């Protein structure tokens, strides 16, 4: 391979990785129109877990509501805190809509961002498994109380009660907290019957498989269920694998009770959480450590809606006794420091993949710089300068090698004209010239290869940080997570890439030279759909690279001219 072509290809390696990685969702279908029913057909009550049975008590058959029950047939009401506005349905007492008051919609900055919504059939549901016990189809009655978090109060409790069945009274309590996206969901059971109860509680999230707004063009991130346990660590599960029942969390299909219990044991743990992940946001059920839980994921019958959740035992409740269970629900932004404190491994939803060891320190540095400058745009600029300074020696070595190659370009072109029909002789003469001039044609490769992992890690940091969402920089840039509305930064990006191309050695092949001149236009055009924060990083990095490369090239060419004059 022509060594000059190899150097040029390496220069664009990082850009190629970033752009083609994102291009995979370019033709993703657009979001569906809003769906009326939040509780789709086929959303039956989960079956009791064989792994969570207490003693030898036989499993009971849950009451299943008719298919197609819809939340829209039940009364709904809203509650508000300083961070969220939640819509609760009397059917199941579930959250069917959740507005995050500190965030705006991706496509409409005048509207509050909605995480749980009917458009994606996204909601949380919970219930009890047991004969006559209420579930997410049951109609509850709200107990009178405030709907807004009072000034000075730290929490707001919403209590809903189901109609007693056989003397058993059940209440569902949702507790909202000030300054938190955590909602505690508790079940209280008063056994007024004449026999013991051994119920189980389930908590799941339902959603369709369509990615949220902002994911259909050049930015591609994971949307789907995720689960964490100490044994298996962080696992992302695709909707496709759930639909094909290729996961251990799929429906249990067993011929015997022993076989069913064995399968259930395989997905049971005393730690961990389960949730749904999308770009910038996450919702997750987090039971207390030590509580036995069984995870499950499944596609609902008909349509493209899925659910992911867990079951926990409530314990045996004797006649005239009471029992309760509670699981915390986090539904909000992927703020890594907050998630890390809530549950082990929850911060991993901000997924940096195999570059996590590099990306995490970069994000820490970005946060530290933001704490000083107070603006995420300027924090990106400062971090880019710091990284450029760290890699200055490596970049200098690369640019020196490229500058020397640039000086040899006319002589290499002459060799190609002279020995163009004899490839072996041409290579021999080229190597002889490199040795004579003490030039390593691959000298610019290693420094670039070393820097690529850092640059890719920074790309994922800027892509995944929810802090960038809605964060302004200056003038026309009001959201670093959205594309530049006037395409000014992408145009500057194209100009800077064109200048860099002119500073690089010119390929002797005319066709190859034309292709390389077209690269800035091709890549720059694709940057039109990238978040402004990412383009800002590349513009600053390119400007600094141009300054460094221009100075080094000028010095090398001046030295070469002086040497030629001395020989003359």
Q: Is the pLDDT of residue 30 over 60?
A: no
Q: What is the CATH number of the domain that holds 289?
A: 2.70.98.90
> What's the pLDDT score for residue 512?
59
- Say if 139 falls within a structural domain: yes
Indicate if 370 and 326 belong to the same structural domain. Answer: no
Which tokens is 336 given?
Answer: 């890594």
Q: Could you tell me if 74 and 156 lie in one domain?
A: yes
User: Do 188 and 333 fall into the same domain?
Assistant: yes
Per the structure, the complete domain to which residue 398 belongs is given by 3-19+363-567
Please state the rounded mean pLDDT for residues 127-156: 94
* Lowest mean pLDDT segment, chosen from 92-106, 112-126, 171-185, 537-551: 537-551
Same domain, 290 and 433: no
Rounded Cα–Cα distance for residues 209 and 303 (Å)? 10
- Residue 444: inside a domain, yes or no? yes
pLDDT at 381: 94
Same domain (yes/no): 179, 241: yes
Query: Does 281 fall in a domain?
Result: yes
Q: How far apart are CA 565 and CA 563, in angstroms?
A: 5
Torsional class of 442: left (φ above 0), alpha (ψ -120 to 50), beta (otherwise)? alpha
Q: Say yes or no: 293 and 208 in one domain.
A: yes
pLDDT at 452: 76
pLDDT at 359 over 80: yes
Instruction: Give the domain-ending residue among 314, 330, 351.
Output: 351
Report if residue 407 sits inside a domain: yes
Pairing of strands 123-129, 112-116: unpaired
Task: Looking at mean pLDDT, say which of 69-78, 443-452, 459-468 comes out highest.
Answer: 459-468
Is the pLDDT at 64 greater than 50, yes or no?
no
Phi and psi based region of residue 418 (left: phi greater than 0; alpha: psi -120 to 50; beta: remaining): alpha
Give the ranges where 336-444 is alpha helix by DSSP (H).
336-342, 356-373, 376-390, 392-419, 423-437
- Based on the structure, what is the number of domains in the chain? 2
pLDDT in tens, 201-250: 999 999 999 988 766 455 568 999 999 999 999 999 999 999 999 898 98
Q: Would you call 199 exposed, middle or buried from its count of C-beta atoms within 10 A (0-12, 13-18, 19+)?
A: buried
More confident position, 524 or 130:
130
Q: What pLDDT digit, counting tens, does each position of 283-332 carry?
A: 999 999 999 999 999 999 878 999 999 999 998 999 999 999 999 999 99
Give the pLDDT score at 343.
96
Q: E-assigned strands of 49-142?
A: 76-80, 84-89, 95-104, 112-116, 123-129, 141-142
Domain limit, last residue, from 290, 323, 351: 351
CA–CA separation, 512 and 474 (whole Å) = 39
On whether both 159 and 40 belong to a single domain, the answer is yes
What tokens does 69 get?
């029950």
Give the model confidence (pLDDT) of 485-544 as tens digits: 888 998 898 888 888 777 665 555 566 566 666 777 777 777 888 888 888 988 898 888
| pLDDT confidence of residue 513 | 60
Q: Is the pLDDT of residue 134 over 90?
A: yes
Can you give the pLDDT at residue 69?
A: 41
pLDDT of residue 37: 43
For residues 457 and 453, what is the distance between their CA atoms, to the nearest angstrom? 6
Q: Do 113 and 135 reside in the same domain of the chain? A: yes
Domain end position, chosen among 330, 351, 372 = 351
Q: Is residue 25 part of a domain?
A: no
pLDDT attached to residue 17: 47
At 96 the three-state DSSP class reads: strand
CB 524 within 8 A of CB 491: yes
The owner of tokens 């004899």 is: 422
382 and 329 share one domain = no
Average pLDDT of the chain, as a whole number:
81
User: Does any domain span residue 357?
Assistant: no
What pLDDT shows up at residue 34?
34
272 to 179, 262, 267, 285, 383: CA distances (angstroms): 24, 20, 11, 9, 35
Q: Are residues 193 and 248 in the same domain?
A: yes
For residues 222 and 172, the model is more confident at 172
Residues 9 and 35 in one domain: no
How many other C-beta atoms are found inside a 10 Å radius of the C-beta of residue 433?
15
Residue 253 lies in a domain: yes
pLDDT at 549 over 50: yes
Residues 481 and 387 in one domain: yes
- pLDDT score recorded for residue 56: 42
Asked if residue 24 belongs to a domain, the reply is no
Question: Which whole number is the average pLDDT over 452-457?
Answer: 80
């Amino acid at each position: 391979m022509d060594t000059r072509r190899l150097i040029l290809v390496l220069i664009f390696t990082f850009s190629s990785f970033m752009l083609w990685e994102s291009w995979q969702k370019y033709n993703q279908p657009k979001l569906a129109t809003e769906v009326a029913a939040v509780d789709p057909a086929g959303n039956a009550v989960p079956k009791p877990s064989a792994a969570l049975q207490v003693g030898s008590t036989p499993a009971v058959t849950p009451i299943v509501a008719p298919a197609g029950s819809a939340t829209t047939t039940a009364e709904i009401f809203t509650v508000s805190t300083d961070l969220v506005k939640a819509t609760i349905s009397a059917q199941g007492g579930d959250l069917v809509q959740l507005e995050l008051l500190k965030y705006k919609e991706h496509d409409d900055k005048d509207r509050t961002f909605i995480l749980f919504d009917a458009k994606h059939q996204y909601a949380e549901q919970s219930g009890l498994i047991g004969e006559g016990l209420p579930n997410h189809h049951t109609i509850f009655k709200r107990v009178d109380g405030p709907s807004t978090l009072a000034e000075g109060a730290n929490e707001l409790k919403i209590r809903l009660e189901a109609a007693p069945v056989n003397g058993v009274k059940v209440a569902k309590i949702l507790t909202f907290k000030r300054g938190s996206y955590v909602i505690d969901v508790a079940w209280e059971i008063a056994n007024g019957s004449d026999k013991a109860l051994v119920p189980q509680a389930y908590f799941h999230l339902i959603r369709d498989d369509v990615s949220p707004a902002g994911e259909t063009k050049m930015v591609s991130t994971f949307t789907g269920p995720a689960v964490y346990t100490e044994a298996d660590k962080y696992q992302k599960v695709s909707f496709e694998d759930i639909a094909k029942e290729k996961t251990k969390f799929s429906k249990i299909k067993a011929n015997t009770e022993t076989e069913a219990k064995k399968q259930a044991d395989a997905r049971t743990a005393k730690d961990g959480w389960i949730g749904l992940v999308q770009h910038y946001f996450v919702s997750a059920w987090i039971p207390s450590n030590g509580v036995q839980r069984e995870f499950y994921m499944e596609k609902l019958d008909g349509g493209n809606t899925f659910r992911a959740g867990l079951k926990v035992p409530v314990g045996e409740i004797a006649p005239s006794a009471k029992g309760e269970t509670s699981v915390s629900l986090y539904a909000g932004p992927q703020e890594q420091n907050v998630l890390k404190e809530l549950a082990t491994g929850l911060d991993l939803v901000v997924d940096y993949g195999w570059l996590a060891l590099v990306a995490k320190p970069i994000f820490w540095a970005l946060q530290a710089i933001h704490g000083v400058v107070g603006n995420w745009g300027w924090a990106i600029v400062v971090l880019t300068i710091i990284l450029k300074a760290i890699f200055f020696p490596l970049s200098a070595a690369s640019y020196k090698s490229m500058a020397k190659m640039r000086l040899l370009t006319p002589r290499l072109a002459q060799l190609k004209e002279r020995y163009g029909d004899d490839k072996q002789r041409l290579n021999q003469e080229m190597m002889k010239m490199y040795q004579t001039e003490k030039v390593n044609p691959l000298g610019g490769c290693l420094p670039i290869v070393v820097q690529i992992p850092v640059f890719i890690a920074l790309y994922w940091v800027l892509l995944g940080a929810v802090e960038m969402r809605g964060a302004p920089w200056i003038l026309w840039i009001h959201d670093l997570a959205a594309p530049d509305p006037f395409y000014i930064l992408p145009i500057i990006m194209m100009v800077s890439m064109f200048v860099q191309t002119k500073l690089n050695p010119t390929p002797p092949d005319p066709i190859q030279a034309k292709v390389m001149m077209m690269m800035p236009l091709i890549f720059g055009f694709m940057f039109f759909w990238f978040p402004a924060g990412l383009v800002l990083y590349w513009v600053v990095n390119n400007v600094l690279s141009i300054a460094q490369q221009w100075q080094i090239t000028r010095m090398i060419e001046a030295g070469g001219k002086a040497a030629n004059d001395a020989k003359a």
